[in-house]
Amino acid sequence: MKNILVTGGLGFIGSHTCVELIHSGFNPIVIDNLDNSEIWIKDRIEKIVDRSIVFYQGDCRDENLLRTIFKENSISGIIHFAAHKAVGESVQQPLKYYDNNIGGLVTVLKVAQENNCSNLVFSSSCTVYGTPDQLPVDESAQIKTAESPYGTTKIICEKIIQDLVRANKDYKSILLRYFNPIGAHESSLIGELPLGVPSNLVPYITQTAAGLRESLTVFGSDYQTKDGSCVRDFIHVTDLAKAHIKALDFLLQKNEGTCEAVNIGTGHGNTVLELISTFEEVSEQKLNYEIGARRSGDVEAVYADSKKSRSLLGWEAEISLEKSLLDAWNWQKTLAK
């Protein structure tokens, strides 16, 4: 059984990926500093897969801890999730984002190289495209200047990995550019756990529906879209998790260096108002919302050209928007008021 180091493995996408890794016969070795997660997520993962997982509490910038992990486990590949991801916070605290997101990746890569581990799946984002020149956006689209330090860290991290592959002919990496992850595991045992006021749309919707928030504000309805609200490519987190397994399989069977960026999205867009109406249908309750001003930095419309994920990885999204929103709602209902 191959050991896979999963940094940020107790986070929203990391936890769902640990479940899929085990279902696919891999053994996740998790490191997480619990900066944006809770230790009981580990218990929930173990309950879903009915076995214990190896967990190290700590930070990816801790070289000694990483060296210990590689000493104690023979690591075949790495999935690097650990990063701060709040767009708005990154504008207020850029150094926190550059230090953690870039420093963490560099340290992981350094220790991995010391241990001849050369398979890396990197958690990137469609945010690197900024406002695409055409839609759907494919991987050859121009990488734009990011709207936030968060987005800049994703662009810089991709460049770091590309340079590493250029310098080491046997290094292999896949850069997964996520669109908008939503939903929760079908068991409702794990899901999105935003700390504080959610900045992302779906947790704000489910918290409003659960009575934790007064009402949702739709940030703008005067965009050049079918109903005036922004368009996004919303993908179920379990579909997204499965894409990481396909990426790992691709790297492990590859016998020469590679660095490929791959969009992970459904390939079609939905507007914010469509998401709200779909949520009302699946939850069978009205959502309290109002139209407000645009949020600065928002892209009007972005959704994936998903051809490369099918052709290179043999992966495509399977779970519907309705099921994604129902899973998100069922998860929200398990959380304390």
DSSP letters spanning 42-110: HHHHHHHHTS--EEEES-TT-HHHHHHHHHHS-EEEEEE--S---HHHHHH-HHHHIIIIIHHHHHHHH
Alpha-carbon distance 27 to 31, whole Å? 13
Selected binder of ligand WQD within 73, 200, 221, 258 (CB under 6 A): 200
With contacts defined by CB under 6 A, name the span among 72-80, 97-105, 214-222, 237-245 that binds ligand WQD.
214-222
CB of 264 to ligand WQD, least distance (A): 12
Tell whether residue 17 is a contact of ligand WQD (CB under 6 A): no
Catalytic residue, chosen from 150, 171, 178, 223, is 150
Determine what percent of the chain falls in helix, strand and coil, rounding each to the nearest 5: 40, 20, 40
With contacts defined by CB under 6 A, name the span among 107-115, 164-172, 217-225, 277-285 that binds ligand WQD.
217-225
Selected binder of ligand WQD within 98, 186, 219, 257 (CB under 6 A): 219
Alpha-carbon distance 262 to 265, whole Å? 10
Alpha-carbon distance 198 to 191, whole Å? 14
With contacts defined by CB under 6 A, name the span among 99-107, 108-116, 215-223, 242-250 that binds ligand WQD.
215-223
With contacts defined by CB under 6 A, name the span among 35-43, 70-78, 98-106, 195-203 that binds ligand WQD.
195-203
Q: Which of residues 87-106 bind ligand WQD (CB under 6 A)?
A: 87
End-to-end CA distance of the chain: 41
Q: In what order do the strands lie in the sheet with 3-7?
A: 54-57, 27-32, 3-7, 75-80, 119-125, 172-178, 258-264
CB of 74 to ligand WQD, least distance (A): 31
Contact string (CB under 6 A) for ligand WQD, positions 254-293, x = contact: ------------------x---------------------
Alpha-carbon distance 114 to 128, whole Å? 29
Q: 46 or 280, CB closer to ligand WQD?
A: 280
Q: Tell me how long the chain is.
A: 337
Selected binder of ligand WQD within 162, 187, 199, 207 (CB under 6 A): 199
Q: Which of residues 21-60 bind ligand WQD (CB under 6 A)?
A: none
Selected binder of ligand WQD within 137, 174, 230, 251 (CB under 6 A): 230
Residues 6+ positions from 259 with CB-CB distance below 8 Å:
161, 162, 165, 166, 171, 172, 173, 174, 175
The first and second tokens of residue 67, run together, are 């060296």
Cα 24 from chain centre: 19
State the angle between helix axes of 201-209 and 321-332 in degrees (0 to 180), rounded to the nearest 10.
50
Catalytic status, residue 289:
no
Tell whether residue 218 is a contact of ligand WQD (CB under 6 A): yes
CB of 295 to ligand WQD, least distance (A): 5
Selected binder of ligand WQD within 100, 180, 238, 306 (CB under 6 A): 180
Selected binder of ligand WQD within 185, 232, 244, 246 (CB under 6 A): 232
Contact string (CB under 6 A) for ligand WQD, positions 101-130, x = contact: ------------------------x-x---
Q: 250 or 303, CB closer to ligand WQD?
A: 303
DSSP letters spanning 188-250: SSS-----SS--SHHHHHHHHHTTSSS-EEEE-S-SSSSSSS-EE-EEEHHHHHHHHHHHHHH
* 3-state DSSP assignment of residue 115: coil
CB of 50 to ligand WQD, least distance (A): 29
Residues involved in catalysis? 150
Q: Which residues bind ligand WQD (CB under 6 A)?
A: 85, 87, 125, 127, 180, 199-201, 204, 216-219, 230, 232, 272, 295, 298
